[in-house]
Copies of this chain bind each other. A is one copy, B any other.
Amino acid sequence: MTYCVAMNLEQGLLFGGDTRTNAGVDHISTFRKLYTFSNDKTHALAILCSGNLGTSQALIELLRKEIRANESNLLNHTSLFDCAKHVGKRLREIIHGYSEEDYDKKVDFSGSLLLGGQIKGEAPRLFFVYPQGNFIESTRETPYFQIGEHKYGKPILERTLEYTTPLNIALSSMVVSLDSTIKSNLSVGLPMDVLIYEKDSFNLDRYRRFNEYDQEFLAARKYWLDGLRRLIEEFPELKV
């Protein structure tokens, strides 16, 4: 399983994801699910993947190959909408490229992804791309999307995240959301990747990986645990 979340806010975009892949509980590996595409000037894009790892790796490989070959690709579209269409088409082709026979054996080649970024001339945009190739875009009212194991990490986002939330505060919500999921579901695990994109910067260098030995992350985790416990202890009395 996987848990990834992306946000399109007033100040820019945030991306976060775990790195666990599993085929059963006894076959667990670490794979990055966050990929970036950029030319540092006019195009800055990031993709978060969930679902079949073979499918998402094939997709990323293909997208990079198109860039190298200078064909129609993610770095020469003039709108992120066209990039979403492009990625959706490729994703669908890959999923439909597997044989009927394997689908009959209930192998799931499917996958969804989040595509966000900015192309010069547009505001930053964020899309949720489905395995069927269609997609939806985030809005001010719904400024974030989740893929994979999304339920555990949703309450904190619902309660603390708005379009106007500053990037550093939104980062905290995102880290708590990811960590809540990691603590509750074995199939979602550390390390976690986070990426911050500041509006109009066309720069994707604000990236960090948190692992289980990261003292700053462990201190933040303890802060949250202690804070929640204190909040619960001081909860208003409910007469029952």
Which positions in A face B, CB cutoff 8 Å?
151-156, 158-160, 168-169, 171-173, 175-176, 180-181, 183-184, 194-196, 206-208, 210, 216-217, 219-220, 223-225, 227-229, 231-233, 235-240
Contact = CB atoms under 8 A, between A and B. Distances in A.
- Interface of A (DSSP majority class): helix
Closest 6 CB pairs between A and B?
A: A151-B151, A172-B235, A155-B180, A227-B231, A208-B240, A160-B232
A228 B159 contact: yes
A155 B184 contact: yes
20 contacts: A151-B151, A151-B152, A151-B184, A152-B154, A152-B155, A153-B155, A154-B184, A155-B180, A156-B232, A158-B184, A159-B225, A169-B233, A172-B233, A172-B235, A175-B235, A175-B238, A206-B240, A220-B235, A223-B235, A223-B236
